[in-house]
Amino acid sequence: MPEPSSLEHVYGLNKWSDAGYSTIDTLYLRPVRWFHRNIVERLRGSSYPYYHRKFGPVKTIDQCEVQDQTCFYESEMTYLREKRIDTMVVEILHDRLTRCIAYEGRIDALDKCAKEKDALFESHANWYQKYGEMGVPHSCVDAYMKQKHLMIWMRRHPEVDLKGWAIERDYEQKTKDYIKSIPMPMEIR
Amino acid sequence: MVLFSKFRPLLQTVFKPTQQIQTIVKRWSSERRMRMMISEFNERKFFDLFHYYFLIGLVPTFCVVFYANVFVGQATLSEIPEDYEPRHWEYYKHPLRRFMAQYVVQPFDERYEISLHAIYTNVMRDQLKALERKVRRLEHARGDNKGWFYRPQVDGLHELEQKKAAERSEGYSAMLAPRELPPPRSWPVAPKTD
């Protein structure tokens, strides 16, 4: 899936879409554009800025003193903010894959959407490794302990493949083989 | 909608109740004729409420929102300039949202700092309470401090008993010295200390 298509309408492909677009054009788009150009842009005041919030550096759990409740609260808020951002990231990548599949079609997406699929798979795996399987509710201390236990386990089991790319590729190949094995005429496939 | 009241004469022509039908009756004209009409109360009530909520609620709200969206416009995202700390409402885009953040709603950072302060004061309060509890516990156990509830009565035997109880709790031993050494003799001659 390359760049998304432009918002202009191409007249001549389909007379029904042309008719529908002409209706919407005259009833809604032209009045709105006229209003915006002639009234809004003339009478609107000066533009003014808004900013994105910046959160300063804060001690994490491992740097906090013992029984320092304020430090715990700050690190917990940072942890929750990071979690929300990472959740949005995974959501956006999922959305990209969905759009790619909708654009290409279910079968062609196996070949053409590989990059989006891999990005989603990786981000989802990382999210699960960082935030998942700790139960609801959980605290930043639980996340820290999970990280520690994972590092210990990885040190004790260096041969284990935790990412799972081999399994994923294997599953993809099996899907393609199954689709190839279905007897269909060549014009449709 | 203001033309609804014009439809009332039509009701009279369409709905001509006969003597058998029972309807709500209301005098309508000055002829020597009793016109039976349906109650107007529900209509008038509905129109009253409609006009009330529309003119006092929707129209001002719509005007305000129209002005904010069309003539003021939404903010544009920009980098924070050097040596400038934006006010807390300058982090929002829509002008009405900015207004609420500026005059109505508690700021985001303030809420955070209030929570931190609450945690800090509660921690301090807990520590002071624990200290008070400890002091009261020790006073009750030792009974040696002249607190406000304590009547000072010197009791040598009680103090001796406390000491012996501590020694007994440590355990009996054959290596212990006797209870008290005898006092040094003073008669006839005090011993030499060289």
Confidence class of residue B6 from pLDDT cuts 50, 70 and 90?
A: low
8 Å CB contact between B76 and A49: yes
Q: State yes or no: pLDDT of A25 exceeds 70.
A: yes
Q: Compare all CA atoms of chain B with the CA of A36 and give the residue at the minimum distance.
A: B70
Give A59's contacts in chain B (Cβ within 8 Å).
Answer: none
User: Looking at residue B20, what is its pLDDT?
Assistant: 46
Q: State yes or no: pLDDT of B129 exceeds 50.
A: yes
User: Looking at residue B7, what is its pLDDT?
Assistant: 61
Question: In 3D, which of B72, B105, B76 has the Cα closest to residue B88?
Answer: B105
Q: State yes or no: pLDDT of B22 exceeds 60.
A: no
Mean pLDDT check: name the lowest of A174-188, B42-56, B115-129. Answer: A174-188
Enter the pTM of the model.
0.69
Q: Which of B76, B112, B116 sits opposite A47 (nearest CB)?
A: B76
Q: Compare all CA atoms of chain A with the CA of B77 and give the residue at the minimum distance.
A: A50
**Rounded-to-integer distance, Cα A116 and Cα A1, Å:** 10
Q: Measure Cα distances from A148 to A66, A144, B6, B13 in Å.
A: 18, 6, 80, 88
For chain B, percent of residues with pLDDT exceeding 70: 80
Tens digit of each residue's pLDDT (9 = 90 or more) over A42-57: 999 899 999 999 999 9
User: Looking at residue B12, what is its pLDDT?
Assistant: 55
Q: What's the angle, vertex CA A53, arms to CA A48 and CA A59, rounded to 5?
A: 160
Q: Token digits for B14?
A: 């369409």
User: Looking at residue B37, what is its pLDDT?
Assistant: 87
Give B75's contacts in chain A (Cβ within 8 Å).
Answer: 47-50
**Rounded-to-integer distance, Cα B16 and Cα B129, Å:** 85
Give B91's contacts in chain A (Cβ within 8 Å).
Answer: 50-53
For chain B, percent of residues with pLDDT exceeding 90: 51
Confidence class of residue B183 from pLDDT cuts 50, 70 and 90?
A: confident
**Rounded-to-integer distance, Cα A71 and Cα A61, Å:** 8
Q: Using an 8 Å CB-CB cutoff, list residues of chain A that contact chain B.
A: 39-40, 43-45, 47-54, 67, 69-70, 73-74, 77
A161 CA to centre of own chain: 25
- How do strand B76-77 and strand A49-50 relate by DSSP bridges? parallel
Q: State yes or no: pLDDT of B139 exceeds 90.
A: no
pLDDT, mean of residues A51-75:
94
Tens digit of each residue's pLDDT (9 = 90 or more) over A75-126: 999 999 999 999 999 999 999 999 999 999 988 898 899 999 999 999 999 9
Confidence class of residue B182 from pLDDT cuts 50, 70 and 90?
A: confident
Mapped onto helix, strand or coil, the DSSP state of residue B77 is strand
Mean pLDDT check: name the lowest of A100-109, A122-131, B28-37, B153-162. Answer: B28-37
**Rounded-to-integer distance, Cα B38 and Cα B8, Å:** 10
Residue B60: cis peptide before it, omega within 30 degrees of 0 = no
**Rounded-to-integer distance, Cα B77 and Cα B87, Å:** 15
Q: State yes or no: pLDDT of B24 exceeds 70.
A: no
User: Looking at residue A72, what is its pLDDT?
Assistant: 96
Q: Token digits for A31?
A: 């009045």
The minimum CA-CA distance between B136 and chain A, rounded to whole Å, is 24
Task: Spell out the residues 6+ positions from residue B48 whose beta carbon is closer than 8 angstroms to its own.
Answer: none
Task: Spell out the residues 6+ positions from residue B167 whose beta carbon is closer than 8 angstroms to its own.
Answer: B176
Tens digit of each residue's pLDDT (9 = 90 or more) over A121-169: 999 999 999 999 999 999 999 999 999 999 999 999 999 988 889 999 9
Q: Compare all CA atoms of chain B with the CA of A67 and give the residue at the minimum distance.
A: B123
Task: Spell out the residues 6+ positions from residue A186 whose beta carbon is closer than 8 angstroms to its own.
Answer: none
pLDDT, mean of residues B153-166:
88
Mean pLDDT of the residues in chain B: 84
8 Å CB contact between A102 and B153: no
Q: State yes or no: pLDDT of B180 exceeds 80.
A: no
Decide which of A105 and B32 is more confident.
Answer: A105
pLDDT, mean of residues B47-73:
94
Q: Is B70–A51 a contact, with Cβ atoms under 8 angstroms apart?
A: no
Task: Spell out the residues 6+ positions from residue A140 whose beta carbon is closer than 8 angstroms to its own.
Answer: A60, A61, A72, A75, A76, A79
CB burial of A109-147 (b: ≥16 within 10 Å; e: otherwise) equals: bbebbeebbebbbebebeeeeebeeeeeeeebeebeebe
Element (H, E) at A172: helix A165-181
Token pair 């006010």 in the structure block, residue: B87
Q: State yes or no: pLDDT of A188 exceeds 90.
A: no
